[in-house]
């Protein structure tokens, strides 16, 4: 009767991102390939195991006026030109395969310019297998004896796995083997000699820890990203001889032509992981089978001959190794038929197409479009890395543009904490690739600053370990148990003969009873000794348990203290981060305010310069006006002097018509120059009690209170204009007399044919602004005075003084 099956414990659910506080930087390694020719100029030098140095080539120094600059870049590890594939694998890929067997994901990609050795590093060459065949070899060396039978695991279209019982798997194997052209490669086939040397690895490599109570299955898939479209390189395109095929020119194709595969779409599974929908996944059981599948897809990959590389990859290739593991049941005989207990881990090996400049590759047509798409996808990868680094360094939350490229969208989960990320930067040290290598180094240096969340550990199923070998005990422990039992039996006294031949035999039974009693006594003594030792051992165990418990309590107390300290430090860090953000925000505001103030300062400085220039112009105009007025004053002074010192002339008598002055009550000095001409106007100036003089003298001024100067000039219309300049006479401190002019009366005669009428006004006519005349307005005329010194005649010594006009109260 088969024993009752124990109930499978529930799988522990580990929340995604429970260890997000632990992060690891992206591991970036550098590999320098050897030069193709010994006489080539080298621009990259390996300084030590972690640093390389770039030298500016001679040609660039001449083009840049002899500018010589050496730049050093650091990596996690640098592999020189003599590094073997095995050394590179042990450092870079071996830890990723070890994590794969433990249920963790990994991403490894090669990056560099065209012709830098990326494909050689990933795939290898005859006799020097690359990272991909070595990863496959390590996987199958580790799980070889624990693999499930074919078709026990079955992939579906939802990026997960279904599990079948042994009977269903057997039926499907028989069905597949009956097909004429089985899709799954057989392990009994002979290895293709084309790649036999590439998968022959001399060094045996195996993972250290493999769960013996689980069964494993390996599935591989191979895709390429070409012109930002995803193609399945393992897809078998069915051939239909009836339905015609159409090419890109919308013309029918021959039935013998190859129909290219359809592009695939990216989907998101229930765990928010990205996968290629409808991608072919092939179950493999050995390194030879897996590499045969890879080689079949490699022949479909797009390569082309460019000016820089004879076989240049024109697409990004992604080879996925998916490891499926499920625990055995409680009996250790069959696979546990629970889909929730399946663990799926994946290792993605990516061979990126080389970045290149089209002016160097001489690309045209399709090659030019391919190069543009390659550079665009690599630029998107670089942008994603920059945004990730900025978000982590400055605490921002910018959206990472994963969706701008199929390459970054496919691997977004790795950068969000779904596995380790490793990058191998391949460089060619020749001088012609200096600028491209410089850009690659800068990208690699920036990528090292990006941190990826550490993946969570695989959940423990909860079944008893050692189930696989429970019903198949090993030789060592059984032999030890038999030896102990034999030693215990030999310590008992031997039993006497129990054969009774005579009915009267009275010795055999007593001897047997005596031997059994001795054995019983010995057994009792051994039991008592065992009990004593058991009690002693229990006491020791109890003491040990107490010691362990005390140590656990002590450690737990220390851990609690450490957790409190860590919590306090976290709170302090959060406070400082908030303070830092606040200060950054204030600094940003101050920078903006400073920018505004600087702009205002520049505007005010410009306005100040404009006003200064305007003041300079006004000052220049003022100086010119002062010079002009000074000239006018000088000219007027000379004119008055000439009139004042002009000799008397005999003027024929004219018929005078006197006009009574408005100021007849005061005594006047009537100063009429010798050049005075009598006019025939009806209204004539007449001042009673006036002393008439032709030249002003001190004696006449001392007797009068008023002074009147008759001035005549020729108007613009040819008529004589008479001006009566009147003023008050004052005594000066020097004993002389001074005159302050107060007003001017004008008498003018006009022709009746003119448009203007004759007029007599006591107000001088207005003159245009800036006119050159000795009298500009009444205020100016009335502010001029004549001062005579005591005992002097009114001659060349008189002076003009600008004095304000006295106003009547």
pLDDT tens, residue by residue, 370-421? 767 777 888 899 999 999 999 988 888 999 999 999 999 999 988 888 889 9
Task: Report whether 115 belongs to an annotated binding site.
Answer: yes
- Which backbone phi and psi does 242 adopt, to 5 degrees? -90, -50
**Is residue 64 very low, low, confident or very high in pLDDT (cuts 50, 70, 90)?**
low
Task: Report whether 417 belongs to an annotated binding site.
Answer: no
**Is residue 131 very low, low, confident or very high in pLDDT (cuts 50, 70, 90)?**
very high
Of 644, 673, 708, the one marking the end of a domain is 644
The larger pLDDT score, comparing residue 320 to residue 332, is at 320
**Is residue 247 very low, low, confident or very high in pLDDT (cuts 50, 70, 90)?**
very low
User: Does position 83 have pLDDT exceeding 80, yes or no?
Assistant: yes
Rounded distance between C-alpha atoms, residue 677 and residue 655, angstroms: 11
Of 644, 665, 699, the one marking the end of a domain is 644
User: Does position 230 have pLDDT exceeding 50, yes or no?
Assistant: yes
The larger pLDDT score, comparing residue 167 to residue 474, is at 167
pLDDT tens for 773-806 read: 444 444 444 444 444 444 444 443 333 343 444 4
CATH of the domain at 350: 3.40.850.10
pLDDT tens for 666-682 read: 788 888 888 777 777 77
Maximal C-alpha separation, the chain: 218
Q: What pLDDT does residue 240 have?
A: 44
Q: Which of 726, 748, 745, 746 is nearest to 680 (CA)?
A: 748
pLDDT tens for 37-50 read: 888 888 999 999 99
Q: What pLDDT does residue 566 have?
A: 93
CA dihedral 521, 524, 528, 530 (to 10 degrees): 120
Kindly state whether residues 218 and 348 are assigned to the same domain: yes
> DSSP string of 147-206?
BPPTTSEEE-TTS-EEE--HHHHHHHHHHHHTSSS-SSPPTTSPPPTTTHHHH--SS---
Q: What pLDDT does residue 410 have?
A: 93
Residue 140 near residue 286 (C-beta atoms within 8 A): yes
| Mean pLDDT, range 714-737, rounded to an integer | 82
Task: Report whether 112 belongs to an annotated binding site.
Answer: yes
Residue 253 lies in a domain: no
Kindly state whether residues 412 and 501 are assigned to the same domain: no
Q: Which of 61, 682, 3, 580 is nearest to 331 (CA)?
A: 3
- Determine which helix (DSSP H) or strand (DSSP E) holds 440, and give its type and residue range: helix 434-447
Kindly state whether residues 211 and 317 are assigned to the same domain: yes
Rounded distance between C-alpha atoms, residue 621 and residue 618, angstroms: 5
Mean pLDDT score of the chain, rounded to an integer? 78
| Minimum mean pLDDT range among 21-35, 37-51, 56-70 | 56-70
| Minimum mean pLDDT range among 277-291, 735-749, 760-774 | 760-774
User: Does position 598 have pLDDT exceeding 90, yes or no?
Assistant: yes
The larger pLDDT score, comparing residue 674 to residue 90, is at 90
Q: What pLDDT does residue 736 have?
A: 82
Question: DSSP 3-state assignment of 415?
Answer: helix
Q: What pLDDT does residue 57 have?
A: 85
Here the tokens at position 494 are 């031997």
Residue 330 lies in a domain: yes
User: Does position 265 have pLDDT exceeding 90, yes or no?
Assistant: yes
Residue 347 near residue 321 (C-beta atoms within 8 A): yes
Collect all residues with Cβ–Cβ distance below 8 Å to 473 and sequence separation of at least 6.
none
Kindly state whether residues 91 and 139 are assigned to the same domain: yes
Residue 642 near residue 659 (C-beta atoms within 8 A): no
- Which backbone phi and psi does 699 adopt, to 5 degrees? -65, -45
What domain count does the chain have? 2
| Mean pLDDT, range 529-540, rounded to an integer | 88
Rounded distance between C-alpha atoms, residue 763 and residue 714, angstroms: 18
User: Does position 589 have pLDDT exceeding 90, yes or no?
Assistant: yes
Q: Which domain holds residue 277?
A: 23-172+197-237+260-453
Task: Report whether 129 belongs to an annotated binding site.
Answer: no
> DSSP string of 613-652?
HHHHHHHHHHHHHHHHHHHHHHHHHHHHHHHHTPPP----
Rounded distance between C-alpha atoms, residue 436 and residue 801, angstroms: 90
Q: Which of 455, 462, 421, 414 is nearest to 102 (CA)?
A: 455
Q: What pLDDT does residue 462 have?
A: 64
Residue 111 near residue 83 (C-beta atoms within 8 A): no
User: Does position 359 have pLDDT exceeding 70, yes or no?
Assistant: no
Task: Tell me 252's DSSP state.
Answer: B
Kindly state whether residues 441 and 526 are assigned to the same domain: no
- Determine which helix (DSSP H) or strand (DSSP E) holds 601, and give its type and residue range: helix 508-644
Q: Which of 268, 147, 302 is nearest to 214 (CA)?
A: 147
Q: Which of 67, 89, 177 is nearest to 134 (CA)?
A: 89
Q: What percent of the chain has pLDDT over 70?
A: 73
Kindly state whether residues 449 and 505 are assigned to the same domain: no
- Between strands 343-351 and 106-112, the pairing is parallel
HSE on the CB side for 610, CA within 13 Å? 6
Which of 158-162, 221-225, 430-434, 775-779 is predicted most confidently?
221-225
Residue 791 lies in a domain: no
**Paired strand residues for 425:** 30, 111
Kindly state whether residues 569 and 634 are assigned to the same domain: yes
- Look up tokens 């001889």; give the residue: 241
Residue 663 lies in a domain: no
- Which backbone phi and psi does 430 adopt, to 5 degrees? -70, 150
Residue 35 near residue 115 (C-beta atoms within 8 A): no
Residue 165 lies in a domain: yes
Q: What pLDDT does residue 304 have?
A: 47
User: Does position 196 have pLDDT exceeding 60, yes or no?
Assistant: yes
| Mean pLDDT, range 278-284, rounded to an integer | 92
Task: Report whether 110 belongs to an annotated binding site.
Answer: no
**Paired strand residues for 669:** 691, 707
Q: What is the CA radius of gyration of the chain?
A: 59
Kindly state whether residues 411 and 551 are assigned to the same domain: no
Q: What pLDDT does residue 249 have?
A: 42
Task: Report whether 601 belongs to an annotated binding site.
Answer: no
Of 453, 472, 506, the one marking the end of a domain is 453
Kindly state whether residues 581 and 624 are assigned to the same domain: yes
Which of 16-30, 105-119, 452-466, 645-659 is predicted most confidently?
105-119
Kindly state whether residues 424 and 504 are assigned to the same domain: no
Residue 272 lies in a domain: yes
Rounded distance between C-alpha atoms, residue 152 and residue 167, angstroms: 9
HSE on the CB side for 59, CA within 13 Å? 9
Cα 214–Cα 218–Cα 220 angle in degrees, nearest 5: 160
Task: Tell me 372's DSSP state.
Answer: H
Task: Report whether 116 belongs to an annotated binding site.
Answer: yes
Q: What pLDDT does residue 468 have?
A: 77
- Determine which helix (DSSP H) or strand (DSSP E) holds 384, and give its type and residue range: helix 366-394
Residue 555 lies in a domain: yes
**Is residue 761 very low, low, confident or very high in pLDDT (cuts 50, 70, 90)?**
very low
Q: What pLDDT does residue 395 have?
A: 87
Kindly state whether residues 372 and 497 are assigned to the same domain: no
Task: Report whether 450 belongs to an annotated binding site.
Answer: no
Residue 532 lies in a domain: yes
User: Does position 757 have pLDDT exceeding 80, yes or no?
Assistant: no
User: Does position 688 have pLDDT exceeding 50, yes or no?
Assistant: yes
pLDDT tens for 135-174 read: 999 999 999 888 998 999 988 888 889 898 888 888 888 8
Collect all residues with Cβ–Cβ distance below 8 Å to 736 and sequence separation of at least 6.
698, 787, 788, 789, 790, 792
Q: What pLDDT does residue 182 have?
A: 54
Rounded distance between C-alpha atoms, residue 345 and residue 414, angstroms: 12
The larger pLDDT score, comparing residue 169 to residue 261, is at 169
Kindly state whether residues 373 and 500 are assigned to the same domain: no
The larger pLDDT score, comparing residue 179 to residue 766, is at 179
Considering the entire predicted model, what is its pTM?
0.56
Cα 509–Cα 510–Cα 514 angle in degrees, nearest 5: 115
Rounded distance between C-alpha atoms, residue 386 and residue 26, angstroms: 13
Rounded distance between C-alpha atoms, residue 670 and residue 684, angstroms: 13
């Amino acid at each position: 009767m088969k024993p009752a099956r124990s109930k499978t414990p529930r799988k522990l659910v580990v929340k995604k991102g429970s260890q997000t506080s632990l992060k690891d930087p992206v591991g970036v390694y550098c590999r320098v390939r050897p030069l193709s020719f010994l006489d080539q100029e080298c621009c990259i030098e390996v300084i030590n195991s972690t640093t390389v140095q770039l030298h500016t080539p001679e040609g660039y120094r001449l083009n840049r006026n002899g500018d010589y600059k050496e730049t050093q870049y650091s990596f996690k590890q640098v592999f020189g030109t003599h590094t073997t594939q095995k050394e590179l694998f042990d450092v870079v890929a071996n830890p990723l395969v070890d994590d794969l067997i433990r249920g963790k994901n990994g991403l490894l990609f090669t990056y560099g310019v065209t012709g830098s050795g990326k494909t050689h590093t990933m795939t290898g060459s005859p006799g020097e297998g690359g990272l991909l065949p070595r990863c496959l070899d390590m996987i199958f060396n580790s799980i070889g004896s624990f693999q499930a039978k074919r078709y026990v695991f079955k992939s579906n279209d939802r990026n997960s796995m279904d599990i079948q019982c042994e009977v269903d798997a057997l039926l499907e194997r028989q069905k597949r083997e009956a097909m004429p052209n089985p899709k799954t490669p057989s392990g009994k086939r002979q290895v293709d000699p084309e790649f036999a040397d590439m998968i022959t690895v001399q060094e045996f490599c195996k993972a250290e820890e493999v769960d013996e109570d689980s069964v494993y299955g390996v599935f591989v898939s191979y895709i390429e990203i070409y012109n930002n479209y995803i193609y399945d390189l393992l897809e078998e395109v069915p051939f239909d001889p009836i339905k015609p095929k159409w090419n890109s020119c919308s013309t029918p194709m021959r039935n013998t032509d190859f129909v290219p595969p359809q592009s695939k779409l990216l989907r998101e599974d229930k765990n928010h992981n990205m996968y290629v929908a409808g991608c072919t996944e092939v179950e493999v059981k050995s390194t030879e089978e897996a590499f045969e599948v890879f080689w079949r897809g490699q022949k479909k990959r797009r390569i082309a001959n460019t000016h820089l590389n004879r076989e240049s990859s024109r697409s990004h290739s992604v080879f996925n190794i998916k490891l499926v593991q499920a625990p055995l049941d409680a009996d250790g005989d069959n696979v546990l038929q629970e889909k929730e207990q399946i663990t799926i881990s994946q290792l993605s090996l990516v061979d990126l197409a080389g970045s290149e400049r089209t002016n160097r590759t001489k690309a045209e047509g399709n090659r030019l479009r391919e190069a543009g798409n390659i550079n665009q996808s690599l630029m998107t990868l670089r942008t994603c890395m920059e945004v990730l680094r900025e978000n982590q360094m400055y605490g921002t939350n910018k959206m990472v543009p994963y969706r701008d490229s199929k390459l970054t969208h496919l691997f977004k989960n790795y950068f969000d904490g779904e596995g380790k990320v490793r990058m191998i930067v391949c460089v060619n040290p020749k001088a012609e690739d200096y600028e491209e290598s410089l850009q690659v180094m800068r990208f690699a240096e920036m990528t090292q600053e990006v941190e990826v969340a550490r993946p969570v550990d695989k959940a423990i199923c909860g079944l008893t370990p050692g189930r696989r070998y429970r019903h198949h005990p090993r030789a060592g422990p059984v032999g030890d148990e038999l030896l102990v039992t034999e030693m215990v039996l030999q310590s008992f006294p031997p039993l006497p003969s129990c054969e009774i031949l005579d009915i009267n035999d009275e010795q055999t039974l007593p001897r047997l009873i005596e031997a059994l009693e001795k054995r019983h006594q010995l057994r009792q003594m051994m039991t008592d000794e065992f009990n004593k030792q058991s009690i002693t051992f229990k006491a020791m165990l109890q003491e040990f348990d107490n010691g362990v418990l005390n140590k656990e309590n002590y450690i737990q107390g220390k851990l609690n203290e450490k957790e409190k300290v860590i919590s306090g430090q976290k709170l302090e860090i959060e406070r400082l981060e908030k303070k830092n953000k606040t200060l950054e925000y204030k600094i940003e505001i101050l920078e903006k305010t400073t920018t505004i103030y600087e702009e205002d300062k520049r505007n005010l400085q410009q306005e100040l310069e404009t006003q200064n220039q305007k003041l300079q112009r006004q000052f220049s105009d003022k100086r010119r006006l002062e010079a002009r007025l000074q000239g006018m004053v000088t000219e007027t002074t000379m004119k008055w002097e000439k009139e004042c010192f002009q000799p008397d002339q005999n003027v024929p008598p004219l018929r005078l018509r006197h006009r009574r002055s408005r100021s007849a009550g005061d005594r006047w000095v009537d100063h009429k120059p010798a050049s005075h001409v009598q006019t025939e106007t009806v209204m004539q100036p007449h001042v009673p009690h006036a002393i008439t003089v032709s030249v002003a003298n001190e004696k006449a001024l001392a007797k009068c209170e008023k002074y009147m100067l008759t001035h005549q000039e020729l108007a613009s219309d040819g008529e004589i204009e008479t001006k009566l300049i009147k003023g008050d006479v004052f005594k000066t401190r020097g004993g002389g007399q001074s005159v302050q002019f107060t007003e001017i009366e004008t008498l003018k005669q006009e022709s009746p044919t003119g448009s203007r009428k004759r007029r007599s006004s006591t107000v001088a006519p207005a003159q245009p602004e800036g006119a050159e005349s000795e009298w500009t307005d009444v205020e100016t005329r009335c502010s001029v005075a004549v001062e005579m010194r005591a005992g002097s005649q009114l001659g060349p010594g008189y002076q003009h003084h600008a004095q304000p006009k006295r106003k009547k109260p």
